[in-house]
Every structure is written in C-alpha cells, then in structure tokens.
Amino acid sequence: MPDPLVAAFDLGTTGVRFAVFDAQARPVAWAYREIPLAYPQPGWVEQDPAGMLDAALAVGREALAHGAVQAHRIAALGVTNQRETVVIWDPKSGRPLAPAIVWQDRRTTLFCAQLRKEGQEKDILARTGLPLDPYFSATKLRWLVDHVPGLRAKAEKGQALCGTVDSWILWNLCRTHATDPSNASRTQLFNIGSLEWDATLLETFAVPRPWLPQVRPSLGRFGSLSKEVLGISAPVTAVLGDQQAALFGQLGLEVGQGKVTWGTGAFLLMNVGASPVSSRHGLLSTVAYTRDGEVRYAVEGSVFVAGAALQWLRDGLGIIENTADSEALARSLSGNDGVYFVPALTGLGAPYWDPAARGTLVGITRGTTRAHLVRAALEAIAYQTHDVVRAMEADAGWELTELKVDGGAARNGFLCQFQADLLGIPVVRPRVLETTVLGAALAAGWAAGVWPEPSQLRALWQEDKRYTPQMEEARRQELLAGWKDAVGRALTGEAGGVDRGAPPGIISTQKA
C-alpha cells in the first residue's frame, strides 16, 4: 500500500500557498499566489476576504492537479494563517460583510490609548499575555461593531459570524465555525490560563459572544472537505497560527527550542512548556498548540516589518525590481557607511510597543545610494531580531546557542551571515524554508497518526546551511550603537502605561 500524503494551506499576509508532502516530509506538489493589500487611509490595511478564498482554492486545485499527487492518498489536511486579521461574514450567503482588517492596521490606536488611560491594560495583559496594541484582533472587532450598520444586532442573533483567517477558511472548506487556541490567543479576547473566551474581555471590547467561533484543540478534528470544494474529502486535523506552525515546522516541541521566521514581519518564538511565562522585557505570552488535553505555551517577539521593508523599496519607491536583487546590492558595499533604517512603517512591535513610531532613515549623505537603502533594510531585519533575542534571553535567564531561521528572507545569505555576526552565535537554515506550511502539514499528520510519535517528526528535520559568526566584537558593538541611536530617534514615548521593560542596552525612552 502506498505511503500516505499530508497537505496544508498557508494563508499568509501577502500570499497563499498550498503544499502536499510525502511520509518523509518531502514536498510533492506546491502552488503559490500573491494576494493584494489595500491601504484606504493612512495607517489602514485591508484585504478582500473573497479574493483570499479564491486564491486559496486556486492554489489548492493547482497543486492537486500535479501528476505526482494521488488525491485518495491524502490522509490529513492542515490550515495555517496570518494571525490577528479579522473577517466578518453572513453565514447564510457566505459573503463577507466588510473588508478584512489586517494585523498591520493601526486605525484603533486612539481606542487603545483610551483603554490605557482608563487603567485597563494591566488586567488585559494578565488575562491574555498581550499588551494593548492595535495589532491584536479585539479592537478591530470593536471598530467593526461600531462602524458596520446593524452588525451588533446581526451578531447577537447569529446572522453574522466573525473570526481570524483560519475561521473564514474553515467555514468555506467544511462549514465549521471554529478556531484553535493558537489563533484565539492572538485576539486579546481569550484567557490563556483557562483557555476560554473571557467574559470580562468580551464586555470590555463590546464583542457579542454568539459572534465568536468555537475553540477546538489545535491538533484535532475540524471537519472534512467536501469533494465539491477541491475534489478531495480529506479531514482537517490541525489548525495553527502561522508563527506557531513555523515553530512546529522547525520541530520546536521541547522547552527552550525556538526559531525566527522572516516573512512580512519577523517573529521569534520559544517553547516554554505547559505553563505561560510572563515577560518582563516586552515579549508576548501565547499558546503554541494544544492536543488531547495537552497545552504548550510560547513567548514571542513580534516585529511588524521585516521582508515588508524590501517590498516597500520595490513597490513603494521602485528602487529595486525584485527582492531577490537585495543580496547582491547589499554585498556591493563594504559596510553600511552609517546608514540605518528603522522600518516602523506600521509602528514598532517588540520589545518597544510604540504604535506611533514611524519609519526613520539615519545617516544619509550625498553619497548614499540605493544599495545603502537596500542594505539598511536587510540589516534592520537582523537588528530587530537581535533586540528580540536579547529580550528573550533576559526573560529566560540563559543565552541561545544557535538560532534557527526560516521564511522567504532566510534565502538571503547576506542577511543570515549578518545575523550570525550580530548575535555571535550560529544561524541555522533548514532545507525546507517554508516551515509554516510544513508545520501545519506535520501537525495534521501527527494528529491523524501518519507519524504517531514525536521522535518520528524530529527525524524529518534537515539542515541546509549553518552560518557562523565572523565579525569582531568591536565592530559588532559599533554597529549596535548606531542602531540604538536610530531607534531612539524613531520612538515617540507613546508606548503606554505598562512597564514592559527592555533588553539591556536597548533605548526605550523619549525621542533622542
């Protein structure tokens, strides 16, 4: 009998992917399609949920049409998705009731400030592990309730549904209104201790309870696809937020194991075990995954703009034609010549949490070229990752010995080497860089019994390349000092009332 296959959807911020893997976790078929973002007002970021769904079904059909895929062999399907983004829809017609509000959207900054002034942030942080910030879903849902005519009444009567992107896709694949704790824990409506929707938070954010999806274990049964959707009837056995899926794809199943994903943003997660950890250095507590009554938590550092900075240089400024050109341009210079870019294009996330911060370029002269801007954008990814790593080490009380990297930007050898140089530890790149979709597939296969034991999963991970530090300590400190100065110029001091701290040596005060 042929070995089973596992498949997964990955619904990211800028693109949708579908992949099929064999029993050795090797990709058998793969399809990808970009999806657009809309910016109707400064600070607003939206997407068309129907377009997102159409793209997902298109890549699914394309991958399944590959000659190497025998649909009847697909034993399980996983779903992973951009987190915090919210969708509302009519359950009868299945049509979206408004554009999706994307996690990068900052329209609720003033509402967050209002709640902060009312003294509510400490309680919200204690319940959810999340500081008040427009990043999370709760204030987005409150905005929709306040601005979509009749929405509250419809929601209370069950005539409108809401959810993060996983819920929207599950509804269309399986007619299941559900989510999992890794996504629910990003809404700021979910109590990460009790693993339930929190009644106090629902009242605070004026979110009707009937509107919300059922929370099911991350690794469990969510329904089955009907053949009319994709031509297969495989069960959906895993749902994970994209960063938790990437942690799973890097096999971060043990306490202390972590990774950074360089995609639209940069996200560093570390497995902290069966109990949540409260950060003293501007990080988040979140659910990694749940399974059969078992829960695993993580601490996370969320950087809003990483690869998106290169996309901005390409699409916004037009100074590069392809992000793949960035490595050669960066290497064309012997150094950064004092040019730093703080890519606070949608505020600053961890460890600063300053939603009012704005992008800042420092050190520009008449000799500055497009190569300097490209190099500064790449270096900014590494600097921000460095800040989060140091915050995570300060929370954990010990130092990382290596950093696993994944995501599209991990293909960039200049970035990987510069990161190793900044941190002074090896940076390790896996053979499969798209660990988000891989992690969703591995989780689905584990839940479905394709790989019954964690040891079988661990045997599937393969290293591609290891970058070792080469920079002298004096140069490292010189570069970090320049970055600290640049960040200080970008910060506004509007990070709020909670003492989130900062890693040693990181500027977190008023504008310099």
Cα 294 from Cα 460, distance rounded (Å): 23
Cα 414 from Cα 30, distance rounded (Å): 27
Which residue do the tokens 């591995």 mark? Answer: 442
Position 350 scores a pLDDT of 83
Q: Is 176 left (phi over 0), alpha (psi -120 to 50) or beta?
A: beta
User: Which parts of the chain sit beneath pLDDT 70?
Assistant: 1, 493-512
Coil, helix or strand for 215?
strand
Is residue 100 within 8 A of residue 46, CB to CB? The reply is yes
DSSP secondary structure code for residue 347 in this structure = B
Close Cβ partners of 292 (under 8 Å, ≥ 6 residues apart)? 217, 219, 220
Q: Is 282 left (phi over 0), alpha (psi -120 to 50) or beta?
A: left
Distances (CA, A) of 101 to 15, 85, 107, 179, 412: 16, 6, 9, 18, 30
* pTM of structure: 0.83
Q: Is 73 left (phi over 0), alpha (psi -120 to 50) or beta?
A: alpha
Position 353 scores a pLDDT of 81
Position 511 scores a pLDDT of 27
- What's the token pair of residue 178? 């559900």
The number of angstroms, rounded, from the C-alpha of 49 to the middle of its chain's C-alpha atoms is 18
In 3D space, the residue among 18, 23, 14 whose CA is nearest the CA of residue 6 turns out to be: 23
Is residue 170 within 8 A of residue 226, CB to CB? The reply is no
Structural domains in the chain, sorted by start: 5-249+431-461 (3.30.420.40), 302-429+466-490 (3.30.420.40)
Position 497 scores a pLDDT of 36
- What's the token pair of residue 293? 């009554």
* Full DSSP string of 246-297: HHHHTT--STT-EEEEESSSEEEEEEEESS----SSS-EEEEEEEETTEEEE
In sign, the C-alpha dihedral spanning 50, 52, 58, 63 is negative
* Interstrand relation of 427-430 and 403-406 (parallel, antiparallel or unpaired): parallel
> How many CB atoms sit inside 10 A of residue 459's CB?
13
pLDDT tens digit string along 36-49? 999 999 889 999 99
Position 1 scores a pLDDT of 59
